[in-house]
Structure 1
Amino acid sequence: MNVKDMMSEIKDANLNYLMMAKQLISSDKATAMFLLGISKEIADLLESLSNMQVVKLSSTNMMLTRFRFDDSAVLGMLTDYSKDRDQAHLHTSVLLASQSAEQIT
């Protein structure tokens, strides 16, 4: 994959993320904030963006989202299927929910 293709993929991912985020926020803001790991201020800002602003923001050449975890143990819980998968995902959700929005965003 060359740099031009990579930048195009990043822009597509940004647009998809922003559109999904706006849809989640408009349907259930509290759940969206939890699922996206964002603060109320960010949720309000994303909700207020026009379609043109979403397209413009998504066209940046850097990812607008990132993994919500910096700990390899959390990634291990999500990918270790030797244990009960639902229990591992629930435990991971609890760990991520305990982080404040400022730590995540």
Structure 2
Amino acid sequence: MTADQILAEIREANLSYLMLAQSLIRTDREQALYRLGVSEETAMLIATLTPAQMMKIAGGNTLLCRFRMDDDIVWSLLTSHGKSSANDGVSRLHASILMAGRHQEAA
């Protein structure tokens, strides 16, 4: 991939993320805050963006979204390689609880 292709992919990902975020926020604000991991103020800002503003913000060269799982234990729970599928649901639930706790700490 060339640098220009990577930048184009970043811009596309940014626009998709902003559109999804805005839709989630407008549909169910509480779920959106949890799922996106953003503050109430950020959610209000995203909800009021015009299409032109979203295009301008998305056009930057920095990815707007990021992985919220910066913890090895969460990645381990989410991937759970080599474990039975019966434990998969429990592992994902545990990871969700850990991430929800981090969302509460950030808020």
Displacement of 1:100 in angstroms is 3.8
Displacement of 1:3 in angstroms is 0.4
Displacement of 1:103 in angstroms is 4.1
TM-score under structure 1 length normalisation: 0.92
Match of 1:93 in 2: 96
Provide closer, same or farther for how the CA distance between residues 62 and 102 of structure 1 changes in structure 2, counting only shifts above 3 A.
Answer: farther
* Structure 1: gaps (5+ residues): none
Provide closer, same or farther for how the CA distance between residues 102 and 41 of structure 1 changes in structure 2, counting only shifts above 3 A.
Answer: farther
Provide closer, same or farther for how the CA distance between residues 75 and 28 of structure 1 changes in structure 2, counting only shifts above 3 A.
Answer: same
Q: Distance in 2 between matches of 1:48 and 1:101?
A: 24
Q: Distance in 2 between matches of 1:42 and 1:58?
A: 16
* Alignment RMSD: 1.6
Q: Distance in 2 between matches of 1:8 and 1:77?
A: 32
Match of 1:27 in 2: 27
1:53 counterpart = 2:66 = no
Q: Percent identity?
A: 38
Q: Distance in 2 between matches of 1:41 and 1:35?
A: 15
Provide closer, same or farther for how the CA distance between residues 7 and 102 of structure 1 changes in structure 2, counting only shifts above 3 A.
Answer: farther
Q: Distance in 2 between matches of 1:52 and 1:101?
A: 32
Kept after mapping to 1: 8 A contact 2:34/2:103 = no
1:80 counterpart = 2:83 = no
Larger Rg: 2
